[in-house]
Structure 1
Amino acid sequence: MPIIAPNTGIVTQINVFTVPQGSQLPLIELLDEAARACREVPGWISASLHRSLDGTRVVNYAQARDAPAMTRVFERLQAGGFIERNQALGRAAPGLYEVVRTLER
């Protein structure tokens, strides 16, 4: 389950993929497969997949306990060929983040 709280040390990778119209599902299926491959990586927490309502983007929100854990996740993804396969399905704009504030009603 995603953890969205400040001051936890958790690292979140947010990746926005731009895909050709109607091509969201193949990328979502690949990202699901990649997340399942990372479940056993020490420090991996979660992955959440989002699709835009206009059909042109997919967002992957993935979390790891800390930066070394996120490095292990990336290593698993590279070793499994997932990064290469992602690039064939859409243009990625990745970034690593930490939660600094949350607001609720």
Structure 2
Amino acid sequence: MSEIGVKNGVATMINVFHVEPEDQKKLVALLVETTESVMRHVPGFVSANIHASVDGTRVVNYAQWESEEHIEAMLADPEVHPHFAEVRAIARPERGTYRVVYVEEANPRD
């Protein structure tokens, strides 16, 4: 389950894909299909959240993994590489790995 929190201990990979507006829906469909058929089965996968910009020029994948080592292993996994090529054919990815350092909520849960 996706949960953003300082203490949840996951590593977060945020990938911003720059895409032409006419390719945004195709990219979203490709990322969803890849997540459902491949990524969710890769060791260490926790969640993926895909966001499409209103102007059609970006797609963001906010993915949580058990650790930074799991992210690195996924990136080196030959089963994943063909899907990266499909994405790069229509979008320019900009990837980073992050740790949550602050969260504020309007109605915090106890």
TM-score by length of 1: 0.89
Sequence identity percentage: 38
| Larger radius of gyration between Structure 1 and Structure 2 | 2
Please give the alpha-carbon distance, in whole angstroms, between the structure 1 residues aligned to 2:96 and 2:7.
19
**Conserved? CA contact 2:44–2:66, under 8 Å:** yes
Task: Count residues with an aligned counterpart.
Answer: 104
Residue 70 (structure 2) aligns with: 69
Instruction: Output the aligned Cα RMSD.
Output: 1.4
Please give the alpha-carbon distance, in whole angstroms, between the structure 2 residues aligned to 1:74 and 1:53.
29
Structure 2, unpaired ranges of 5+? none
Runs of 4+ in 1 over 3 A off after TM superposition: none
**Conserved? CA contact 1:41–1:72, under 8 Å:** no
Residue 90 (structure 2) aligns with: 89
Please give the alpha-carbon distance, in whole angstroms, between the structure 1 residues aligned to 2:7 and 2:99.
8
**Conserved? CA contact 1:11–1:97, under 8 Å:** yes
Q: How is 1:5-84 mapped onto 2 (pairs within 5 angstroms)?
A: 5-36=5-36, 37-76=38-77, 78-80=78-80, 81-84=82-85
TM-score by length of 2: 0.85
**Conserved? CA contact 2:13–2:63, under 8 Å:** yes
**Conserved? CA contact 2:16–2:95, under 8 Å:** yes
Residue 103 (structure 2) aligns with: 102
Please give the alpha-carbon distance, in whole angstroms, between the structure 1 residues aligned to 2:33 and 2:72.
18
